[in-house]
Structure 1
Amino acid sequence: MPLIPSYKPLDITLIRRDKLKKHLRDELSISGTTLAKMSNRDFVSLSVIARICEYLNCRIEDVVEFIEE
């Protein structure tokens, strides 16, 4: 079975850091389109994930995981 990304770990990390996706959009200039892709479990670039990790001071697994479709 193919693997698809799940950004549920990001939601949990944002809650722990008292942040919102709006902060990612405003402070990191992540586009609304990219945030929509994440909500739809689409792939986003690794550079976006790296920027989020740096901003939240977390590991990649705190942002994305792969699940079976």
Structure 2
Amino acid sequence: MAVTYKKLWHILLDRDMKKKDLQETAELTKYTMRKLGNDEAVTTDTLAKICRALNCTVDDIMEVLPEDK
């Protein structure tokens, strides 16, 4: 299952935040930030941290892409 975090990056742009700001606010590691940047799977705990930090829902920060058939 493929996911994309493009919505997350748009939220950061809209709020004039940098990835580093999100990393600090949500207490994420550099490794997790790299995974997000590469649209790789992250834990639900990580998604929850981001949602709490940005006061949003999971639907606001990620999208599940349809599988190729």
Amino acid at match of 1:21: K
Query: What secondary structure, in the 3-state scheme, does the structure 2 residue paired with 1:58 have?
Result: coil
Q: 2:2 is aligned with what amino acid? A: I
Gaps of 5+ in 2: none
Separation of aligned partners in 1, 2:7 and 2:36: 11
How many aligned positions are there?
A: 67
What is the 5 A alignment of 1:1-69? 3-69=1-67
Provide the rounded CA distance (Å) in 2 between the counterparts of 1:28 and 1:56.
8
- What is the CA-CA distance between 1:33 and the residue it aligns to? 0.6
**Distance (Å, rounded) in 2 between the aligned partners of 1:28 and 1:57:** 11
Identity %: 33
C-alpha offsets along residues 13-59 of structure 1, whole Å, 9 cap, x if unaligned? 11122211101222222011111111111100111111111111111
Runs of 4+ in 1 over 4 A off after TM superposition: none
- TM-score, with structure 1 as normaliser: 0.84
The answer to whether the 8 Å contact 1:17/1:56 transfers is no
